[in-house]
């Protein structure tokens, strides 16, 4: 996540090869960008396990 980022609420996934994707917090769907399947899978698994943390950080960085 970045400070003062745009809506909808999302987080950024940076892959080892330099590519990036933005993932929506509500539905965990790709909003923009593309990364390899393995990196995407790892990010989605982590996001499903940490939804409260992601929402709290979005509020702190963008609405607080």
Q: What is the pLDDT of residues 6-56, one digit of tens each?
A: 899 999 999 999 999 999 999 999 999 999 999 999 999 999 999 999 999
Count up the domains in the chain and report the number.
Answer: 1
Pull the structure tokens for residue 20: 């990036």
The pLDDT value given to residue 24: 97
Please report which confidence band the pLDDT of residue 1 belongs to, taking 50, 70 and 90 as the band edges.
confident
Residue-range definition of the domain harbouring residue 43: 10-62
Is 30 a domain residue? yes
Cβ atoms of 23 and 15 within 8 Å: the answer is: no
Q: Considering the entire predicted model, what is its pTM?
A: 0.87
- Residue 18 to residue 10: CA distance in whole angstroms: 19
- Residue 8 to residue 16: CA distance in whole angstroms: 25
**What is residue 53's DSSP assignment?**
H
Is 32 a domain residue? yes
Terminal CA-CA length for the chain: 14
State the number of CA atoms in the 13 A half-sphere of 22 facing the CB.
11
């Amino acid at each position: 996540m970045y400070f003062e980022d745009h809506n909808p609420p999302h987080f950024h996934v940076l892959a080892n090869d330099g590519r990036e994707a933005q993932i929506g917090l509500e539905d965990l769907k790709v909003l923009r960008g593309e990364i390899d399947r393995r990196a995407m899978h790892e990010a989605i698994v982590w996001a499903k396990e940490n939804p409260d943390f992601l929402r709290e950080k979005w509020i702190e960085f963008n609405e607080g």
